[in-house]
Amino acid sequence: MNEIDTTITMGSSNVYADIGMPDAEGMFVKAQLAMRISDAIRAKRLTQAKAAVMVGMTQPKLSNMLRGQFRGVSETKMMDCLTALGKNIEIIVRSAPRGQAGQVQVVSREPAGHRRASARPVSSKIAKMA
């Protein structure tokens, strides 16, 4: 039998960067927003059709977004979806540690006693702008 040389490489937390996608950081943030939208839809026990009406998009477009096909859907539209689903969004700007690039983080902070399908704190580094 022939042996196959298999090398396993540890990836980063951003699969888009790992596979060399353009705008990997932006895609990662959108993926995290899409997960939060999916969580909100699941928590409200909505069908995709009902959720689509609530967020102001077609069911096929919502379905595509939830499956990771979110090119053409802006971060602003995704945040609008979250607010339409009853989620508050806070944008906090603070200094990064000296000598480090800033980060964009999508973090869920639900009130005590609120049940979530899953907790998924994530962050995405954004390249330092010159």
Q: What pLDDT digit, counting tens, does each position of 5-57 carry? A: 788 777 777 788 788 888 888 888 899 999 999 999 999 999 999 999 999 99
Task: Provide the whole-model pTM.
Answer: 0.71
What are the b/e assignments for 17-56, b being 16+ CB within 10 Å? beeeeeebbbbbbbbbbbbbbbbbbebeebeeeebbebbe
- Give the start-to-end residue ranges of the domains of the chain: 20-92+101-108+118-125
Lowest mean pLDDT among 19-23, 90-94, 126-130: 126-130
Mean pLDDT, residues 73-100: 90
What is the CATH code for 20-92+101-108+118-125? 1.10.260.40
Q: Which of 31, 74, 81 is nearest to 52 (CA)?
A: 81
User: Would you give the distance in Å from CA 52 to the centre of its chain?
Assistant: 18
Q: Is the pLDDT of residue 116 over 70?
A: no
Task: Name the helix (H) or strand (E) containing 45.
Answer: none
Percent of the chain clearing pLDDT 90 (strictly above): 40
Q: Which residue has the higher pLDDT, 92 or 64?
A: 64
Quote the pLDDT of residue 111. 59
